[in-house]
Amino acid sequence: MKNILFVDDEKSILNSLRRLFIHEEYGVFLAENGNEALSILASENIDLLITDMKMPVMNGYELLKEVYKKYPKLIRIILSGFAEKEIIMKSIRENLAFFYLLKPWDNDHMINLINRLFYLKDILEQKNLLRFVEIYGDAFPSLYSNEKELRLKLVDKAEIEEIIKIIERDPSTTLRVLYFVNSAYGIKTGSVKKALNYLNLNDLENILFRDWYDSLDDAITQKNIGLIVNHSILTNKIVHYIYQELLCKNIDLQYDSVGLLCNIGGLILQSAFTNEYTDLITDAKEKKETIEKLEEKTFKMTSQEVGGYLLSWWGLPDPLIESASYLHKPLCDNIRNKELVYILHLANYYSWKFFGLVPYELNRKVFDLLGLKERNLEQMVHKIAITFIEEKQKRDL
């Protein structure tokens, strides 16, 4: 049985939480302050901690800091009101909690979140992927080449559309915004624009700007992460082009960042296994082998597998998780969002091809299923890619 520890100085809240979980198959422990919580953690096998922030003697931030040191593998969730936003943001900046729930909480959302986290933690442990959650938390690897520009826009209180454009030039920045909003507010969105409706500019600055920007000081690592980032941006542009220009459809806002996030697994692997993944990229270019096969050979897992599980852990919408997981196998029977996966399969493939790499074997049946012509798409993708590179070169001047 999994055990949950709730910490809050209000007995009425603890009683409500006890009643909420009375029919769930979890052991429930209650503590009215941080010291009680630490005593329980020392004597019981606790799997998940949910704590208030505003408490006497030892506040939630102090408790989380102590728990992070002593029990780093423990799932940690903040349950607090908006009045404690400053200390909540401080906890988030320091990666002391995995998720943040607002009071008053939604019962179904809380139960579903806990069920999902326990289910995914077991899978991540089996797949040896939990270490990535422990290493990165929400500190996703990034070049942060747009940091200065984004800071200036926030200081100047620029138009929100300008800020969105800058955020969407970096998959990791996009993921951080979506991760926070999806976990804190119980919504499901893959749209940066929709996510920013829940945040003010101070929130955004606290979420985005951390203390570890200079960690990627290796030139080769930066180059390869830059390659993955540019590939992801181009993939997203191709996805939108296929929907709007070829299929004459408006892309669902929930899918808005699907191309940006499809290779988060590659970013994680490059950062966690710098030398091995650098060699893998070199081999893929020189030997013309697929990235998928080389990942399987080197790591016994693919970037799609890593990305799919971690996007699920971070609470993103199911269509984005499914697309990242199955983009290399678009004809699997259990895919629900088939059209989206078909489109991402093509967009991801041609985006990598433009950069001289082959991610996986292209499944040409997808063209017929979407009613598209291979030659026409390849020509248009090349034009989109050239325009993208030209725009990037102008920004970098």
pLDDT one-digit tens code per residue, 187-213: 789 999 999 988 877 778 777 765 444
Please answer whether residues 259 and 232 qualify as being in contact, where contact means their C-beta atoms are separated by less than 8 angstroms.
yes
Residue 115: the pLDDT is 93
CATH number at residue 264: 1.10.3210.10
Query: In terms of domains, do 183 and 225 share one?
Result: no
Query: In terms of domains, do 101 and 119 share one?
Result: yes
Domain membership of residue 139 (yes or no) is no
Residue 211: the pLDDT is 47
Three-state DSSP class for residue 75: strand
Domain membership of residue 324 (yes or no) is yes
Query: In terms of domains, do 9 and 120 share one?
Result: yes
CATH number at residue 104: 3.40.50.2300
Query: In terms of domains, do 324 and 384 share one?
Result: yes
Query: In terms of domains, do 236 and 172 share one?
Result: no
Residue 357: the pLDDT is 94
139 phi and psi angles, rounded to 5 deg: -90, 70
Query: In terms of domains, do 163 and 310 share one?
Result: no
Residue 123: the pLDDT is 86
Query: In terms of domains, do 47 and 74 share one?
Result: yes
Domain membership of residue 34 (yes or no) is yes
Residue 397: the pLDDT is 67
Domain boundary among 126, 161, 180: 126
**Based on the structure, what is the number of domains in the chain?**
3
pTM as predicted: 0.84
Domain membership of residue 119 (yes or no) is yes
Q: What distance in Å separates the CA atoms of residue 226 and residue 278, rounded to the nearest whole number? A: 12
Q: Which residues of the chain have pLDDT under 70?
A: 82-83, 85, 93, 134-148, 155, 184, 186, 209-220, 397
Domain membership of residue 113 (yes or no) is yes
Residue 212: the pLDDT is 41
Burial class (CB in 10 A: 0-12, 13-18, 19+), 283: middle
Three-state DSSP class for residue 364: coil
How many CB atoms lie under 10 A from the CB of residue 21?
Answer: 18
Q: Whole domain around residue 303: which residue ranges?
A: 215-396
Burial class (CB in 10 A: 0-12, 13-18, 19+), 141: buried
Burial class (CB in 10 A: 0-12, 13-18, 19+), 289: middle
Query: In terms of domains, do 389 and 306 share one?
Result: yes
Domain boundary among 91, 126, 161: 126
Strand partners, 102: 80
Query: In terms of domains, do 340 and 263 share one?
Result: yes
Q: What distance in Å separates the CA atoms of residue 11 and residue 291, rounded to the nearest whole number? A: 54
Query: In terms of domains, do 221 and 266 share one?
Result: yes
Residue 10: the pLDDT is 94
Please answer whether residues 354 and 381 qualify as being in contact, where contact means their C-beta atoms are separated by less than 8 angstroms.
yes
Please answer whether residues 283 and 289 qualify as being in contact, where contact means their C-beta atoms are separated by less than 8 angstroms.
yes
Domain membership of residue 352 (yes or no) is yes
Domain membership of residue 132 (yes or no) is no
Sheet holding 26-31, edge to edge: 26-31, 2-7, 48-51, 75-80, 99-102
How many CB atoms lie under 10 A from the CB of residue 50?
Answer: 22
Query: In terms of domains, do 312 and 354 share one?
Result: yes
Domain membership of residue 138 (yes or no) is no
Query: In terms of domains, do 203 and 224 share one?
Result: no
